[in-house]
A and B are shown apart, each in its own frame.
Chain A
Amino acid sequence: MSTAASADTQGSLWEVFVQEEGGAAHVHAGSVHAPDREMALQNARDVYARRGRVASLWVVESTSIAATAPADRAAFFEPAFDKIYRHPQFYKVPRGIRGL
């Protein structure tokens, strides 16, 4: 970070999640800067909800999000790879049985 920039403040970084209609999942839309959560919500509205089509907004301070590391992907998700018995196709059903 440059020293000139540290004299300025842009507030902290917030991730914005938008629910387009009631019943749908909140989906990550992008980010905004704001000093507090109320202003983060207002900024998120002005930036990500200018055309309506929004039922609800969440904002989360970016530093509060934990994420998996891409390099660990294989090891981290490995436990699920060999559990084919968690899928319905694993189980045998005689031909002609309906509704299963």
Chain B
Amino acid sequence: MEIPAEDTADLERHFQSRLDADETIEPRDWMPERYRKQLVRMMSQHAHSEVVGMLPEGNWITRAPSLRRKRGLLAKVQDEAGHGLYLYGAAETLGTSREEMITQLLTGAAKYSSIFNYPTLSWADVGAIGWLVDGAAIVNQTTLAKTSYGPYARAMLRICAEENFHKRQGFEILAALATGAPGQRAMAQDAVDRWWWPTLMMFGPPDEASPNSAELTRWKVKPKSNDELRQRFVDLAVPQAKAMGLAIPDPELAWDEENSHWRFGKIDWEEFWRVVRGNGPMNRERLRARAEAHEGGRWVREAAEAYDAKRRARRQAVA
């Protein structure tokens, strides 16, 4: 279709009509500045979450209880690094540089998922993260695979294909503990007790308090609302917990026969905002560890660049 005139209102109408026709927006297409901004915000936040998400689990690689578990966890953490890179790459197509995004993370200007600001106190937490946190991420990402921005949707497809292994390795860890000795059972239950509510908060504030929702729905960036996704996750997770013989720490949890949904209790949104604003148990530690890793890798990046410059110079000297 031809763009009728160089007039923003026309361009915006044309853009919306493409979205309404379920067309995919590609990097070189015209888009409203705010669409671009919102996507950079969402995608870089998503990329940062994958990268920071390596920290709580990486903590347990050297203490995994068997070689089988260690191998699985190592591969999962490596996947998270890869997912961060898919997403940084996709976000860069919108004209924001990798350096800029990393700086925003390290200076605290950009957010990442608050779930990673909770500590991993026991081995069972590794199982709970895989089962609950990755399980919640899959619910969210499966719908984002249909988002209107092409590079984001394609990155999501790749990520979803790989995440299922994360969820299953987590489930296996928890299920093994849940059928183990009393101490192991207690460890598994304690992990679920601590991770359940923060996982429900991962879907973001309730729809009525979510300032970006209407716009993101209109732009088909976010095909489903926070509350819809949260409900879908609860409906999936409750029977899985029952299958393991673990309890969901919610006395109000009840099956709604009429609507076929598990109804759950009130989420402590004060806790959510406290952690988002930087005052969760691990916020400072995560950023410190991330900054340290970034600085620690600086000499590698500089050495690689110096090596490339040296070889270029040699090639030129020969020619």
Task: Give the interface of A toward B (CB within 8 A).
Answer: 1-2, 4-6, 8-11, 13, 29-36, 39, 46-47, 50-51, 67, 69-71, 74
Task: Give the interface of B toward A (CB within 8 A).
Answer: 1-3, 26, 28-30, 78-79, 82, 85-86, 89-90, 92, 97-100, 102-103, 107, 151, 154-155, 158, 162, 298, 301-302, 304-305, 307-308, 311
Closest to A71 in B: B3
A-B interface pairs (CB < 8 A), number:
78
Closest to A50 in B: B82
Q: Are A30 and B89 within 8 A (Cβ)?
A: yes
Q: Are A31 and B89 within 8 A (Cβ)?
A: yes
**Cβ-neighbour of A36 out of B3, B151, B307 (below 8 A):** B307
A1 to B96, CA, bound (A): 8
Given A9-B305, A11-B301, 9 further pairs, Cβ under 8 A? A5-B99, A29-B158, A32-B89, A35-B308, A36-B308, A36-B311, A47-B85, A47-B86, A50-B82
Q: Are B162 and A51 within 8 A (Cβ)?
A: yes
B201 to chain A, nearest CB (A): 30
Q: Are B298 and A8 within 8 A (Cβ)?
A: yes
**Cβ-neighbour of B29 out of A10, A46, A70 (below 8 A):** A70
Complex contacts, A36 vs chain B, CB 8 Å: 304, 307-308, 311
B144 to chain A, nearest CB (A): 16
- Given A30-B90, A33-B98, A51-B162, check contact A11 B304 (CB 8 Å): yes
17 interchain pairs (CB within 8 A)? A1-B100, A4-B107, A5-B100, A8-B103, A10-B97, A10-B99, A10-B102, A32-B89, A35-B305, A35-B307, A36-B308, A46-B82, A47-B86, A50-B162, A67-B28, A69-B28, A74-B2
Complex contacts, A47 vs chain B, CB 8 Å: 82, 85-86
